[in-house]
Chains A and B, each alone.
Chain A
Amino acid sequence: MKQDFLKFPLHLIVRPFDGFWDMKYEGKGKMKVSLLILLAVILTTILQKQFAGFLVNMVDPRSLNSLDDLEFTILPFLLFCVANWSITTLMEGEGKFKEIVMATGYALLPIVLINLPMTLISRFMTQEETAFYYLLNSIATVWFVILLFVGIMTVHQYTPAKTVLTMALTVIAMGFVVFIATLAFSLGSQIYWFIYDVYREIIFRT
């Protein structure tokens, strides 16, 4: 239990090359843990928006919506995984979809680990000290990006250059997916309204 939920993820984020290798080949990674980290990211985001100190909390309280936080974290996550899987399948990546999801999930851990305490500490900061808050939050993001990079590289057994390329392509693919989805949604709603109108015409004719 402790091994799966604490020791391995914490080991992974400081020794990413080692950790992701173990995740892929030694079967140490757990889907459950990865999704739990994703959930923790959502939770810390919500907590941060709600409880971060006044000096760093620029969120308009009228715009707080936990459901938004939920979907704006889960959807990009899934989008990234699907897009990356689609791209790497074409580019001889060795990773399975499950491994991509796990790698991405584990990579998110620094964000949880830094954001949660910073939310608390930010309540005891003055204006001059908020620089540290922003610095540490940026470190969390950079750390996440590095982990994601190493994770994708290890999972697919790519060279660094190829990983950069796939990451770029993944972003483009994400754009495509969003575009297609919007298009499909728009067409679908038009079809829906068309059928609805026809239905109404028929109803009111009789």
Chain B
Amino acid sequence: MHIKRVLLLVAIVSLMASFVIPRASAAAPYEAYNYDYYGDSAPLPAPYLPDVAITGKSLGIGDFKDPNDLFVTPESTTYILDSGNARIVVLDKDLKVERVIKTFKNNGKEDGFSAPEGLFVSDKHELYVADTENGRVVVLSDKGDLIRIISNPKSDILPADFKFVPLKVTVDQADRVFVVARGVFEGIMQFDDKNTFMGYVGTINVAPSIWDRLWKSLSTKAQKAQMQLFIPTEFSNVDIDRKGFVYATAIDISSDTPIKRLNPSGDDVLKRLGYWAVRGDVRFRMFGNNSGPSMFTDIKVIGGGMYVALDSNRARLFTYNDEGDLLYAFGGRGNQLGVFNTPVAVEQIGDKLAVLDRGKNNIVVFRTTKFGSLVRQATTEHYNGNDDVAVKLWGDVLRLNTNYEIAYLGIGKSLLMQKDNKKAMEYFKLGMSRKNYSVAYKRYRRDELKEQFGTFMTIVFTLIIAFILYRITRIVLRRRAVKREAGLS
């Protein structure tokens, strides 16, 4: 009877405790993963967890309507382009409304936006808005005063009836404006600070395959007319990094290079040294639900050589390091907090990540987990050349996830720098990098050979001498036997 009571008490207390103790961490509504050397997706601890969803209502300014773009300055001021309501909402560091820009003075008259789709804030705190339906890019000052308007570009290379429909905009330190425009297949339009059109950058080359050519040569004129034209695809978004390189995404499902990093002369210089192409998912279904390759709608450079690309097809976020290794992918479609309906823009607030969802009319803020921030710090330290610090961090990452190949690579690279070739080989083997392993092994073998050369030669000479002695004794013995047989001795 007594025992029963104690047991009951224990049961009650433990039941209470389960209410009192908060769960250690809320489970993410998605699975984070990475692709291993063999191309299988390997699960990871979640690098980010959803923190809070910001809606227009929660900000007290009425619901968002089809918000299309988001920008966060390095000072953590957030700009939301609320397209449906034709306004720009500015939030301060604490994500409280600072002000709302709805109109601006244009030649003394009140002017507004019409379904704007792109937003960028330059280092000089000038606001660039791609005012899509009005066919212009509006540049506003910090206070909301009009500075200039880019519209109706004139150039010999543009057709006479060219209609300028800007979608996305980005600006470099020299006030050159890069505009992704609708129906422009030649590349990203580039304007100087005097509003004149300078030309295209990042032209996508189109190369029909042999099969396409054969097919075309076999088809009739009527069939050819029905055929899909070989036109390059449009760019979908642009971002710019601290060094002035333009990162661009293109919705090109047949391409292995939907993400490009353009240098000032417009060439693609993105490093693609990882096991797999920088194209989001490398394994996907070809037909049916959730099929097809990733289609990127936004890209954000988040420092340390890393960039996040937003896949609109499966609503996932892919983070790459500067060498083109996938660090982690997470996200998905759904109704819970942390999964998306129609994600359109991704931004970084401090070390948090913000994703604008047009379908849900909200912004989801993600906070980094321990794993996520360790990977980030380690990558940044490695990028900045502080390998000693990076190795320590990579070690911590491995303690959280032993399957993380990039961590092994990171440690291996720094061990190689420290001339610890044998150990570096071990780590490169775990990181499945044959190229680096070979470099480490070559050095290791050279050192070993140098060290063991004396021993090796001694053994060789001893063997040769032993062999000669063996032959001589045999000959001598045989001669003696012959002599004895002949009865000479």
> What is the interface of chain A, defined by CB distance below 8 A to chain B?
54-55, 60, 62, 124, 126-128
- Chain B 418-453, CB-CB to A under 8 Å as 1, else 0, gives 000000000001000011011001100100000000
CB neighbours of B438 from chain A (8 A): 55, 126-128
Cβ of A124: which chain B residues have Cβ within 8 Å of it?
A: 445
Other than the given A55-B434, A127-B435, 16 more pairs (CB < 8 A) read: A54-B429, A54-B434, A54-B437, A55-B437, A55-B438, A55-B441, A60-B38, A62-B38, A124-B445, A126-B438, A126-B441, A126-B442, A126-B445, A127-B434, A127-B438, A128-B438
Q: Nearest Cβ distance between residue A2 and chain B, in whole angstroms?
A: 21
Give me the interface of B with A, judged by CB distance under 8 Å: 38, 429, 434-435, 437-438, 441-442, 445
B431–chain A nearest beta-carbon distance, Å: 11
A57 to chain B, nearest CB (A): 10
Nearest chain A residue, comparing its CB with the CB of B436: A127
Which chain B residue shows the least CB distance to A130? Answer: B438
Give the residues in chain B near A127, CB-CB below 8 Å.
434-435, 438
In the complex the two chains form, what is the Cα distance from A126 to B442 in whole Å? Answer: 6
Separation of A83 and B328 alpha carbons in the complex (Å): 52
Alpha-carbon distance A62/B38, docked complex (angstroms): 10
Tell me the complex Cα distance, A55–B441, Å.
Answer: 10
Which among B38, B429, B435, B441 has the greatest number of chain A C-beta atoms within 10 A?
Answer: B441
- Chain A residues near B434 (CB-CB < 8 A): 54-55, 127
What chain B residues lie within 8 Å of A128 (beta carbons)?
A: 438
Q: Which partner residue on chain A sits nearest B425 by CB separation?
A: A54
Query: How far, in angstroms, from A108 to B437 measured CA to CA in the complex?
Result: 33
List, in ascending order, chain A residues with CB within 8 A of B441's CB: 55, 126
Query: Shortest Cβ distance from B405 into chain A, in angstroms?
Result: 14
> 9 shortest A-B CB distances, which residue pairs?
A127-B438, A126-B442, A126-B438, A60-B38, A55-B434, A54-B429, A55-B438, A126-B441, A54-B437
In the bound complex, what is the Cα–Cα distance between A147 and B434 (angstroms)? 35
State how many angstroms separate the Cβ of B110 from the closest Cβ of chain A.
Answer: 66
Residues of B within 8 A of A62 (CB): 38
Q: How far is the CA of A176 from the CA of B445 in the complex (A)?
A: 51
A126, B435: Cα distance in complex, Å: 9
Instruction: Point out the residues of chain A lying under 8 angstroms from B429, CB to CB.
Output: 54
Min C-beta distance of A169 to chain B, whole Å: 32
Report the separation of the CA atoms of residues A124 and B446 in the bound assembly, to the nearest whole angstrom: 11
B445 CB contacts on chain A under 8 angstroms: 124, 126
Residue of A nearest to B443 (CB): A126
Interface centre among B38, B435, B438, B445 (most CB of A within 10 A): B438
A-B contact pairs, 6 of them (CB 8 A): A55-B438, A55-B441, A62-B38, A124-B445, A126-B442, A127-B434
Q: How far is the CA of A62 from the CA of B432 in the complex (A)?
A: 14
A55–B438 Cα gap in the complex (Å)?
7
Query: Which of chain A's residues has its CB closest to B38's CB?
Result: A60
Report the Cα distance A54→B438, complex, angstroms. 9
Closest to A57 in B: B434
Which residue, A55, A124, A128, has most C-beta atoms of chain B within 10 A?
A55
Closest to B39 in A: A60
Q: Which residues of A contact B442 (CB under 8 A)?
A: 126
Contacts of A126 in B (CB 8 A): 438, 441-442, 445
Give the complex CA separation of A124 and B444 in angstroms: 11
Residue of B38, B434, B442 with most partner-chain A CB within 10 A:
B434
CA A124 to CA B38, docked complex, whole Å: 24
A50 to chain B, nearest CB (A): 15
Expressed in whole angstroms, the Cα–Cα distance for A75 and B429 within the complex equals 34
For B437, the chain A residues whose CB sits under 8 A away are 54-55
Q: Chain B contacts of A55 at CB under 8 A? A: 434, 437-438, 441
Nearest CB to that of A56 among chain B residues?
A: B434
Q: Which residue of the partner chain A has the closest CB to B432?
A: A54
Residues in B whose Cβ lies below 8 Å from that of A54: 429, 434, 437
Inter-chain contacts of B435 with A (CB < 8 A): 127
Q: CA of A52 to CA of B250 in the docked complex: distance in angstroms?
A: 42
Closest chain B residue, CB of each to CB of A62: B38
Return the chain A residue nearest B437 by Cβ: A54
Chain B proximity of A131: nearest CB distance (Å): 12
The complex places the Cα of A165 from the Cα of B429 at a distance, in Å, of 47
Complexed CA–CA distance, A127 and B442 (Å): 9
**Shortest distance from the beta carbon of A93 to any chain B beta carbon, whole Å:** 42
CA separation between A206 and B179, bound complex, in Å?
A: 79
- Expressed in whole angstroms, the minimum distance between the Cβ of A135 and any Cβ of chain B is 17
In the complex, what's the smallest C-beta–C-beta distance from A124 to chain B, in angstroms?
Answer: 7
Q: Which residue of A lies closest to B428 (CB)?
A: A54
Complex-state Cα separation, A62 to B36, whole angstroms: 13
Q: How far is the CA of A206 from the CA of B149 in the complex (A)?
A: 89
How distant is the Cα of A126 from the Cα of B440 in the complex, in angstroms? 9
A55 to B445, CA, bound (A): 14
For residue A206, give the distance in angstroms from its CB to the closest CB of chain B: 45
| Central interface residue in A60, A124, A126, A128, by most chain B CB within 10 Å | A126
Inter-chain CA distance A55–B439, complex, in Å, is 11
Residue of B nearest to A63 (CB): B38
Task: Give the Cβ gap from A91 to chain B, nearest Cβ, in Å.
Answer: 39
CA distance in complex: A53, B437 (Å): 11
**Cα separation A146 to B285 with both chains bound (whole Å):** 44
User: In whole angstroms, what is the CA distance A135 to B435 when docked?
Assistant: 20
In the bound complex, how far is the Cα of B442 from the Cα of A124, in angstroms? Answer: 9
Q: A54, A60, A62, A128: which has the most chain B beta carbons within 10 Å?
A: A54
Bound CA–CA A118/B38 (angstroms):
25
CA distance A55 to B437 in the complex (A): 8
Minimal beta-carbon separation of B443 from chain A (angstroms): 10
By beta carbon, the residue of chain B nearest A61 is: B38
Q: How far is the CA of A106 from the CA of B176 in the complex (A)?
A: 74
Bound: A4/B38 CA distance, A? 45
How long is the Cα–Cα vector from A54 to B431 in the complex, in angstroms? 12
Q: What is the bound-complex CA distance between A54 and B432, given in angstroms?
A: 9
Residues on A with C-beta less than 8 A from B38 are 60, 62
Chain B residue nearest to A128 (CB atoms) is B438
- How far is A184 from B228 in the complex, measured between Cα atoms in Å? 46
- The minimal Cβ–Cβ distance linking B43 to chain A, given in whole angstroms, is 16
Q: Complex: how many Å from CA A142 to CA B469?
A: 42
Q: Complex: how many Å from CA A54 to CA B37?
A: 14
Nearest A residue to B442, CB-CB: A126
Residue in B closest to A127 when the chains form the complex, CB atoms: B438
B477 CB to closest chain A CB (Å) equals 25
Q: How far is the CA of A42 from the CA of B385 in the complex (A)?
A: 49
